[in-house]
Each structure stands twice: as C-alpha cells, then as structure tokens.
Structure 1
Amino acid sequence: MSSLQQRRERSEHGARSAPEPAVAAGDDPRQFAQVLSAVYDAAMAGERLPARPRSVISDSWDRVLTAGVDPELGGPDNALAVGDLEARRQESGLSLILEDLTRGLDAVIADGDNILVVADRGGRVLWRSGATRVLGKADRLGFVEGASWAENSVGTNAIGTALMSGRAVQVFSAEHFVRSHHSWTCAGAPITDPRTGSVLGVVDVSGPAATIHPTTLALVDAVAKLAESALRDHHRESLDALRAVAAPILARSSGPALAVDNHGWVAAVDAVPPARRVVLPRTLSPGRAWVAGLGECDLDPLPGGWLVRVTGSDEAQRTTVELVLSGSRPQVRVTGGAGVWSHEPSPRHAQILAYLAEQPAGATAAQMSAHLFGVDDRVVT
C-alpha cells in the first residue's frame, strides 16, 4: 500500500488535532510527487486510481469537475483593475491585520523560495510579497494581485480549497487540479472574523514544489489564528471607543437604552439587562425597528455603532441630522431623544453629504462621480 493511501485511510479514521500536511515528515517529496502524478493522470482519464488521494483533495476535485474547470487551461479570469482592487482591499477587513500576517511569516519567505499571499473571502488575491524571481514565476501562472484563485476559477489550490473546506490545507504538486500548477506547492489557512464567525479570507504561502516542508502548513495555520486574535483586540478597542461616545448619551437617556456596534455587540447599557450581543435587523437605518429580545426600539446612529432605545409605549422623540457648512470646519449634528452628538467629516465627505442632502430621491454612482470629479466613470472611487 502506498504512503498516499495509508495517510488517506488514517485521515478517515479518527479526528486530527492539527491540519494534515500534504507531505509528512519522512516522506520523499519526489517519490510522493510521482505517485500523485500517476493518480492525477488516471483520475483525469477516468481510469482506476493506483492510490486514493486525500479526502480534502478528492472532495475538491469533485467540486471542480462539477464547476466545469478545464484541467489543461483552468478557468477564465481577468484580474481586477487597480481601483477595484483597492476597493476590495478596503472592504475585506484584512488590512487591519496585514502587518501581523507579514510579520508572522517573514521567516518562510526570507530565503526567497516562497511568496506570501493574502486573499479575500471570494478567493481574490489582495496582496503578495516575496522575492522577485518567485513572483515572476507566479506571474506566469496568473497568480497576481486581483486574480481569482477560487476553486471554480483555477481548480484545487490552497486558497480556494481552504475557503471551501473551512480549514487549513496544503496542496502539493499534482494535487492541484490544473496541470500547469503541478510544479507548485501551497499552504493556506482561512481567517475568521471573530465578530461574525464568517470567513474574511485566506493567508497562503506558495512556491515551487521542491520547497515543500511539512511544518509550513502548521505555521500558516498558527499565523491565521494569531491574526484572528489581533482582530479580537481591534474589536475590543472599537467597543471601548464606542463606549466612550455612548456613556454621556446613556447618562442623559430618559429610558432603557444600550449602545451596540454594527454587528450587535454591546458596548454599554442603561436600565437594560446586560447582554454580550443583540440581534439587529438585517437592514439598519435610523428610526423605529423591532429588536429581538428588546421589542420595539428606536435606532440612532453613533460613530462606530448604534444607540438602541427601548420605546415601550412611549413615543420617542424624532431624530434629526443636520449638516453645518458655515464654519471653518464642516460638522454633522445628530439630535434625538437621548441627546446630541456631533462629528467632523472630511471636506470630501462633507461635499458628498451636501450633494446627497440636495437629492432626496438619491443619486447613482455615475451622478456622484460627475458631481465630484466632472466625469461619470469614477464610480469605484
């Protein structure tokens, strides 16, 4: 029985306490690559397999075949334009921890044999770093910033397969579904948002197949978990900042109220039973809404969250928002039943707010672009 088949059977009997690397300590990578190549060729030809691939790989191959990915060409994909890529970076929530990811994996890419890649929840490559010669090899595979490395685009790979399986994955040589990727090895681990439990993206280390090492996967997985810990720290800091804003407002509140962030995590309460989190309406907007566990509430926006006032049978005071442009600095003033708070937007944000205030029916991105820049094609900005 081959080492590949033995390890497949071990993975199917009993839970693992750590991610399983593609090549275990003691395995000969060259021999292992030959076995994988024979398995791959047989699978693509529909013939009997000389050994069974690991379950995470066979499951991925099934998904990729169903998606119609061409094993000789991969799926068609165009890398994002620079403006769209930058917008995707900002939306990903990963920029906060980019330094943590880079610092944690510096040692792996320091010798110039591997590159570090961070992708978003859709498998789009957001950032890359590494030696120029390895980045050049990645370029020839289309492994560039803005490209999609989801399974349904390029087949089985550590980024797309980690996203689909929800766990850290190492993909070696012919475990990749697309033949042109067989000269590579990659290890990727998903990064989970501690606020929502959803996956934000993947951190990946990739390089030529000869650079494979059994410990790389464990290291990548550990760095992903450290990044999640950093996200929890950022979240606590944001709740502290929200609490500082909300405390004086809650002190003046005439009834039960609490301050929560945009995900419902509670920063401060007044005359409300303490809770870690409340379930907010799917669509958030100022005004009256039903909040599970609290009943009918009035929602007022705060910097970084919402003031939730339990109304009961009392009619809450109407909330008004005023944009003041007369002074040296623009100011937004919000007045409601719990008091008043203000915020100083940037000049550009004030310009946007003033334009929207004059457009009660709303405006399209193209109209906004024409107003701000004189052209209607800067919709991403």
Structure 2
Amino acid sequence: MGQQHLEAALPVGVDPRRHARALARVHEAAIAGEALPSAPRSVISESWSRVQQLGIDPDRGASSPILDAAELEERRRESALAPLLPLLRGGLLSLAEQAAHIMVIVDAAGHVLWRDGSVPVRRRADRLGFVEGVDWQEEAVGTNAIGTALVARQPVQVYSAEHYVRAQHDWTCAAAPLHDPRDGRLLGVVDLSGPASTVHATTLALVDAVGRLAESQLRTAHLTDLERLRGMAVPLLAKVSGRALVTDPHGWIAAAAGLAPADRLPLPTSVGPGPLWLPAHGYCVVEPLPGGWLIRLADSGFDSGAAPPTRVSLDLRVPGEPMLTVYGAASEWTHRVSPRHAQLLYALAAHRNGCSASQLSSVLFGDATRTVTVRAEVSRLRRVVGGIIVGRPYRFADNLEVVVHGSSIAG
C-alpha cells in the first residue's frame, strides 16, 4: 500500500442518520435513472456504474456462490494471508467486538476465508448471507467495501445507501487491500463491517494502518528468507564461471557474479529447471536451489542456439493486472507489468513507427515537456523487457508481431 488519501464515508461532524437519509435519496434517484440530488463520492459513483452494467438487481443482488467446507479449507491452507491472521486479529478483533463489528478476511477472488468478532453481528451477517466461503465481489453482491476495494486497489469505506443492494443499507464497512511485497500481487482484503449505526470516520484509517503492518510483516519475512539464500549463494557463485546469479522464486536477487548490481530480475510467472529466455539477458539455464534458482547466462559455457522472440502480447483485460507475454521459437516469458509500463507499451503498440520522448509525454501526461520522466520510465521498462523495445525513436523491435487484448489501463 502506498501513501494515499483515505476518504471516509462519513464526513467529520456530520450527523450519521441525516447523512444516511441523504444517501438514500441519491441511491433511489440513481436506480430510477433520475437527476441526482447530490453527487456520490467518485469511488461509489464508479462502482454503481460497474454494477449497473453488470445488471445487478438492487433488491436481490446476484447469485452469490458459496464454497463448500472442503474448498474453503483448501483455500485457507493455500492463502498467503494465513500467516497474517495473528497480526490482523490482534490489531482489529478486540475493537470489532467492542464496537459491534466483525473482522472479515477475503482472498483476491472475493471469497470470505475468515470471519471473527461480535456474535450478534455475525448472526446478523448470517441472515444477509455474509458468511465464510461466500463470494463478496461487486459482480456478486454489488457495491460494498470488500468488492470495491478489490477493484479499486485502494482502501474503501462504504456506508448505508452507498451499498448498491438495498439489503446492505443497514451496514457500514471499511476494507483495505493486502499485497504481496515481493511481487505486488493482490492477496486479498481485510475488512471491518457492522451495523450502519456504528459508523465512525476513523475506522478506515485503522483498517488501513493494520493492513500496512501486515504487509510490513510479509516484507520482513521476505528479507529474512533472502538473507538466508544469500548465505548459500555467495560461495556457490564463486565456483561458477561466467555471468550468473541466484534469485528467490520471485526473482529477487540474493547474489550475482559478473553483472551490475540490481535488486530484482523479472522472472516469468512459471519457472522450471532448464533453458529459459529472459528479455533482459537472452537465453539462460536455470538450476533449482533450496529456496530459489541458480541462473547461468548464455556466456557461461553453453549455447542455446535459439531464435529471438517473434511475438508480443499485452493483456489489459484484468483491471490492475496488466500482463506482458513474449513468445520465442521455443519458449515464452510472461510477466505482470506496472500500470505505467502498460501505458507505455500500449502507446508504442498504437504507434508502430515509433514515438519521440515528447510524443510519448503528450500521450501519457497530456504534456509534451515531461521528457525526462518519459526517458526514465522507458529506461526502467527496457531493464525488464530488454531488446523488444528499441530507441530513436522509441518503438517495438521491427521483427515483432504485437497484439493487444483489451484497452482499459489504470493510470
């Protein structure tokens, strides 16, 4: 979670009941397609638009599937959120019980994995269908803090009639997304939910703060694992001729020989022993190590004889998860790129003859003067994708077929 403005659903000093009545009038006008008496918050307006396009019924919601007991237990075992349970419970559970709330932990697919807190509120949630194993995404139950945080990738508080489905108007919820600091992957959401009468402007800040602590715990565990791998890697690389490096499973570099210092090597989503093509280094050989990989570059005593890549695919169909795939004659490389790099790649795909720094600046920022920023971003991108992007002007390499799926890019 980066530093960001937290917008509470209840403005400071505003009477909750009066605010709930005002929200109800806005909600009814939106459902009826009438002029709104006042504008909802942007995060709510955008969510309402999404769920209306999905055809969600404001009276009944949609069919929300529930995992069976075996599926739920399997997801709990596999979830990277499981080690965070003691911290999340320690930071939120006592408050949840005292303030008539429940703490809910949801995976990246929107399924409720754990639910703790006030017994009366849990019974009330049962009647709503807000139970362990249920799918609580927007597309299942409309606008809500959990589902909307999963889409918006930011902390969200939803109060009363800001919920799209009327059955949820008696609730207030505050949720914060949780990310894996090793690769930025969305792991899920932590949420505090309770009766609308218990709404408080500081709840969102608390949930966000505890979420940051949880991510910090994951970061500390990762650094510990990387240091352990480094202790094994340094003597190992001393025996390897040529350029080589040792990484953890996510590409974080523990040690390197014959290469400029770097923190991370972008690895494909699936890595196995044997030959591997990496855009930044060409063809390599990968060998497994306990807790990571030994990667020997092509000048380390082998000849792959492989042809260069021929096709690039930029997939923008999943919001917030742009994926780049590079195809070669004998292998492929897939990597999740940042939204900014996705914008750059999209712009270059749309201008196959190339763009100058000022042209890219106009496309990305609406300002042709931000060329320094553009050059820095292209430099960072080329460290990831290597020779598929060339300069003078900036463009995809001439021999590549470039395909784009989808066109929605978050800034």
Give me the TM-score of the superposition, normalised by structure 2.
0.70
Question: Which among 177, 186, 211 is matched to residue 173 of structure 2?
Answer: 186
CA contact (8 A) 1:192 1:199 kept: yes
The separation in 2 between residues aligned to 1:281 and 1:78, in whole angstroms, is: 32
The CA distance in 1 between the partners of 2:243 and 2:299, in whole Å, is 9
Partner residue of 2:215? 228
Q: Distance in 1 between matches of 2:171 and 2:102?
A: 11
- Report the count of equivalent residues: 302
Name the residue aligned to 2:393: none
Tell me the SS of whatever aligns to 2:202: helix
Mapping for residues 131-280 of structure 1, pairs under 5 Å? 131-280=118-267
Q: Is the 8 A contact 1:278 1:292 kept in 2?
A: no
Cross-structure match for 1:70: 57
After TM superposition, give the deviation of residue 124 of structure 1 in Å: 1.1
CA positional deviation for 1:112: 5.2
Deviations 1:119-159 (A, max 9, x none): 11121111111021111111111111111110000000000
Q: Note the 1:76-115 alignment, pairs <5 A.
A: 76-111=63-98, 113-115=100-102
Output the CA distance in 1 between the equivalents of 2:65 and 2:300.
56
Partner of 2:320: none
CA distance in 2, matches of 1:313, 1:163: 44
Question: Quick check: 1:300 aligned with 2:287?
Answer: yes
Contact 2:242/2:299, CA 8 A, preserved across alignment: no
Partner amino acid for 1:166? Answer: R
Task: Identify which of 30, 35, 48 aligns with 2:17.
Answer: 30
Displacement of 1:100 in angstroms is 1.6
Distance of 2:48 and 2:65 partners within structure 1: 23
**Displacement after TM superposition at 1:186 (Å):** 0.2
Bigger mean CA offset, 245-254 vs 232-241: 245-254
Letter in 1 for 2:187: L
Q: Is the 8 A contact 1:281 1:290 kept in 2?
A: no
Q: What is the CA RMSD across the aligned residues, in angstroms?
A: 1.9
Question: How far does residue 105 in structure 1 lie from its aligned partner after superposition?
Answer: 1.3
Provide the rounded CA distance (Å) in 1 between the counterparts of 2:255 and 2:69. 40
Distance 1:114 1:170 in 2: 14
Which of these residues, 52, 62, 67, is aligned with residue 39 of structure 2? 52
Counterpart secondary structure, 2:13: coil
Deviation at 1:19, TM superposition (A): 0.8
1:313 is displaced (CA, Å) by: 6.4
SS of match in other structure, 2:247: strand
The answer (yes or no) to whether the contact 2:160–2:170 under 8 Å persists in 1 is yes
- Contact persistence 1:18–1:218 (CA under 8 A): no
Q: Residue 67 of structure 1: CA displacement? A: 1.1
8 Å Cα contact 1:191/1:224 also seen in 2: yes
Matched, 1:130 2:117: yes
Unaligned runs of 5+ in 2: 304-411
Alignment check: 8 A CA contact 1:109 1:130 kept: yes
Rounded to whole Å, the distance in 2 between the matches of 1:55 and 1:110 is 31
What is the alpha-carbon distance in structure 1 between the residues aligned to residue 192 and residue 51 of structure 2? Answer: 22
Structure 1 unmatched ranges of 5 or more: 1-15, 317-381
Does residue 309 (structure 1) correspond to residue 300 (structure 2)? The answer is no
Amino acid in the other structure paired with 1:149? W
Q: CA deviation at 1:208?
A: 0.4
Report runs of 4+ in structure 1 exceeding 4 Å deviation: none
Is the alpha carbon distance of 1:48 and 1:315 closer, same or farther for their aligned partners in structure 2, counting shifts above 3 Å? closer
Q: Which amino acid counterpart does residue 212 of structure 1 have in structure 2?
A: V
